[in-house]
Structure 1
């Protein structure tokens, strides 16, 4: 009886699209939370650690799980609940330790160590999750592709952490998000390409259960709630910080008794006018009035 090698192919593009949307949003907010961890101290830092771990573990696991269920295995599939839970646990362990290494060790070395921890965590999550994906047919693995997938996760995770700890800019945000998406999606799809199913030639390939598709969309919905909560906390904190900065700036630039601009404010405005006059070639005058009796 002969067998033929069957490669997994996308069965539900809508489920796969949802997984990629979660991946992009989750990667962005997780890296922004990593930056916030590096900017804070004490109990506040612990809170950002927790949020970053929740958002990171949630989006990585959801991307893997939903994208995995979007494939057509070509055979009957059963999910092992224990191994599925262990795959999620791997991310909850890896994310905070990776952030801790990147933030506390500082510099290139810390980001490399964090990238190794995060990349191995993503790989562990992926392959534990694939072990939970029981297929009623012999499975063969392309080991060179498996190794490449792990290296993709490690290298791009290190790049994403390095970018997240640099000064804020729009370009940096785009780059760190793309690096993190590449680490997660690159490892996942390379790992899926490494998996081959040896199907007996006489066996008819059934369609995947619609129940799995429903589970996939439910996982996406739950992960989106976690990501939205992380985004909301980040936005609220940023708004509070800006309001505090504006209030401190107003107090520094005005007289405490009258509320009128003080000498510091005058000097700052004068410097601005001088710089403008130098650039445009225009002239300006300063008029001083002594109000003392």
Structure 2
């Protein structure tokens, strides 16, 4: 199938373009971007021009930031195109509910993606936790914002999510591997004095069986980056590292991936998207975004030092 990629920024170049190029299901037929380009692929100034000149392209993948993405998604779905959404699927829950209703009305597929769920160790971790009694689960997600989002001021604006931009990746894994739903019981959000979104956050969760579940997110971490989820159960300990790419159980090594952030994740997403379209279905799981929304509602805000690039 021909597909158009909307928004050619860092994540599109690093993950989407290579995944599409390597896929037997897709051909990158067009792009729409104000700045980025993909060599050898026709670029269009906007969706109206793309749809008018290329009515044969029935699928679009949106790699824009959350706030502007909604209008593009509405336009694409209203034009009868299947739509894939980069994470998070929207700036608000209500936006994504509206997109889901629009997709149903136009009988097209909508795919709200969570790339970290496709990391190499996640499926095995989910299988291992099933049937075991959880005692505790702790997320430690610490990275350097200057390394992963250099100069991207939109992440500090309302809707940009701040440290929850990577933090929601961890929450997408947690909500995938736990056999029962959890919800936020308390949160502390550290917000730089000169910014609108948090640079760090600490969350506590309610677990139906009383397990202690917590998460620490920090965007000020230099040196070795830390993306770890540790679980203790009645039948041993499990540890996911490298963003879910590496799994160990009771200290015994399991799956590993050479590239902890991209290897296999986006190819698997695009394969799932092709299957969704072929089956005429959608996949819009909002569990990770609900947890972030609840953290903002319940979170106690404390001032952090001003942030500058």
State the TM bucket, normalised to the shorter chain.
under 0.3
The higher relative CO (CA closer than 8 Å, separation ≥ 6) is in 1
Instruction: Pick the structure with more helix per residue.
Output: 1
TM-score, normalised via structure 2 length: 0.25
Structure index of larger Rg: 1
TM-score by length of 1: 0.25
The structure with the greater share of residues assigned to strand is 2
